[in-house]
Amino acid sequence: MAAEGKGVVLLGAWPSPYAIKVKIALSEKGVEFEDREEVLSNKSDLLLKMNPVHKLIPVLIHDGRPVCESPIIVEYIDEAWTQGPALLTSDPHERARSRFWADFADKKVFSSIRSVWFGSVEAQEAGKKELAEWMSLLESELGEKAYFGGGSFGHLDLSLVPYYWWFHALKKTLDLGSASELHLPKLEGWLKRCLLRGSVTAALPDQDKLREFIQQIRKKRLPTN
């Protein structure tokens, strides 16, 4: 069993931005891995054993040893497999900037996504405004660069693209208010460039499938206001 012995196993869930990031990082580094889909309503014994503290996906199991929490896994992949281009630059300030915006997406963007997805009426309205603000911030942070780190795809691109993909799916599924009407030409051009990469297209879920998932969970979790 690869998870207990040699090799690389990813415990993930296909819609999870956290898991998508890790998949892109593994592909960028050319690491072959076994992709094990977890059913989050019925977590596997392996997941509970490998991440007993948080009991959450994704978990990367490398030669039997677990690495947990997606930003930590992405940096682990960059450091453990030194083949291919580094995902993070070597410049300390650029590394801090890249980590900052990746963390911003994990915390702020995903929190707003969850609010518009299945929050209370008030939380939904606040979430729409926040999403508009976050996307404008990212548009301005990208500026004239081809990728968030400059001329080549790297750490911050793979950390942000799952959330931007989710934003697209949400926009086509729900009324996002002012966030729907944003003009984001830089992010759109960047997304197109990202979608030219096999690592990205292999990890991102189909938009229709994602929209169906968004609707399903919304029906189940939306509070009856």
In the complex with a copy of itself, the residue whose CB is nearer, 38 or 75, is 75
Pick the closest to residue 135 from 156, 112, 159 (CA basis): 112
Instruction: List interacting residues with a copy of itself (CB under 8 A).
Output: 53, 62, 65, 67-69, 72-73, 75-76, 79-80, 92-93, 95-96, 99-100, 103-104, 108, 137
Q: Which residues of 32-52 are buried (b: 16+ CB within 10 A; e: fewer)?
A: ebebbebeeeeeeebbeebbe
In the complex with a copy of itself, the residue whose CB is nearer, 95 or 197, is 95
Q: How far is the CB of 222 from a copy of itself (least distance, A)?
A: 25
Residues 6 or more apart whose CB falls under 8 angstroms from that of 51 comprise 11, 57, 59, 66, 68
In the complex with a copy of itself, the residue whose CB is nearer, 72 or 195, is 72
DSSP 120: -
DSSP 192: H
Q: How far is the CB of 7 from a copy of itself (least distance, A)?
A: 15
Q: How far is the CB of 70 from a copy of itself (least distance, A)?
A: 11
In the complex with a copy of itself, the residue whose CB is nearer, 52 or 198, is 52
SS3 67: strand
In the complex with a copy of itself, the residue whose CB is nearer, 104 or 117, is 104
Q: How far is the CB of 155 from a copy of itself (least distance, A)?
A: 13
Q: How far is the CB of 178 from a copy of itself (least distance, A)?
A: 19
Strands (DSSP E) contained in the chain are 8-12, 34-37, 59-62, 65-68
- Backbone CA torsion sign across 198, 69, 104, 219: positive
